[in-house]
Amino acid sequence: MPSGSPGPLDGLKVLDLSRFIAGPICAQILADFGAEVVKVERPGGEDARHHEPYYEGESVYTMLYNRNKHGATLDTRHPEALAVLEDLVRWADVVVENYRPGTVERMGLGYERMVELKPDVVLVSISGYGQTGPLSQRALFDAISQASSGLMSVAGEADGKPTLTGTYIADYVTGYQAAIGAFAAIAHRKATGEGQRVDVASLDSMFATLGTRLIAHLMLDLDMPRSGSRDLLTAPVNVYPALDGDVYVQAGTNGLFPKLCRAIGREDLLEVPEYRTVAGRMADQEPLERAVAEWAEHRSCAEIGAVLGDAGIPCAKVATVPEVAASPQIAARDMVVDVEHPELGRLRLPGNPVKMDKSPPTTRKAPPTVGEDNDYVYRELLGRSAEELARLRDGGAV
């Protein structure tokens, strides 16, 4: 499907009242699949607009989460803002917001009021702790979610401090979960004509990622400790220094371990009875890792990859961001896309990871600058006159 062609959500109208990451990612996913999305932010731009680094005077932070959107400004505290917001809700099929619970209600635009304005509206509410529960009113950012969810406690070396993941993983996952909820609510509305509120919490999203550690606690009362770069369940699995970098080797299953021993010339390890089972290898990981490390330290990452790859053993150089961005595999998957902005020129952005044969996501519009599309949104979509828009602008409402 060529860039600019309709997607599966063509005709869907989305009002994006969110900021930072989780909400904007949710709305951007809908936009990638063809929805028309209007992003509303205050006249000076949302706080994230002021985060470094900058490209041509614009924060690249906000470029990550706002492609394919129309950018409009509105001071939601202005006396005339509520009437404008209500018009936008009447226009929209889906509203995305990530304020603290109760904020949209205090703005005079809670879910009940939205239903009065648009009976079948889908409201996607993204928050730190959810719309209910004793912590619902607390503020939360990504790092707090990683800490409070248990994720940080399991990240890092076994004898070190808990660590962050190195990216805004809580915001990303929460945004993806919100998009899933939005898709489901859209499908429900198509089938029944009913809208609904989608309530997605960052804490819930991170709690759901704890995987084996969580179920081991819930069902076996086990508290599995941090394991650093080792695999939680099999061995030997770890990162090993090579001549020109580090390589991660995953050879912990009963099928892979014999292949590893033969590939590195350590068939003698196959004669150790304890090493024939996962449990036995997990109980004695250090000698196994030492054998792999002694083999790897005299070889380049490419040589290690060739030998182990030919043996069918999953392995990879621990790539830097510049290395992976230049990868032929990333290029083949269209995971870096170029889009032209009328003022900023060519922007290079991450592609959408979802690939589809019939209705793939597309990049049709560069992330907007602050208020870039005010004329289109207020005049063409809402039908306001040029004189009225000028009055709202002069009065500080937009």
Helical (H) or strand (E) element with 336: strand 336-341
CA of residue 244 relative to chain centroid, distance:
31
| 77 and 395 Cβ atoms separated by less than 8 Å | no
**Residues 348-360: b if buried by 16+ CB within 10 A, e if exposed:** ebeebeeeeeeeb
CA of residue 372 relative to chain centroid, distance:
25
Catalytic residue among 16, 75, 171, 204: 171
**Residues 81-115: b if buried by 16+ CB within 10 A, e if exposed:** beebbbbbbebbbbbbbbbebebbeebebebebbb
C-alpha to C-alpha distance for 393 and 75, rounded to whole angstroms = 10
Number of residues in the chain: 398
C-alpha to C-alpha distance for 64 and 168, rounded to whole angstroms = 12
Counts of helices then strands in the chain (DSSP H, E): 17, 13
Q: Is 221 a catalytic residue?
A: no
Determine the 3-state secondary structure of 188 from DSSP.
Answer: helix
C-alpha to C-alpha distance for 311 and 245, rounded to whole angstroms = 21
Tell me the DSSP string of 26-90. HHHHHHHTT-EEEEEE-TT--GGGGPSPEETTEEHHHHTT-TTEEEEE--TTSTTHHHHHHHHHH
Helical (H) or strand (E) element with 178: helix 169-192
Q: Which residues are catalytic?
A: 171
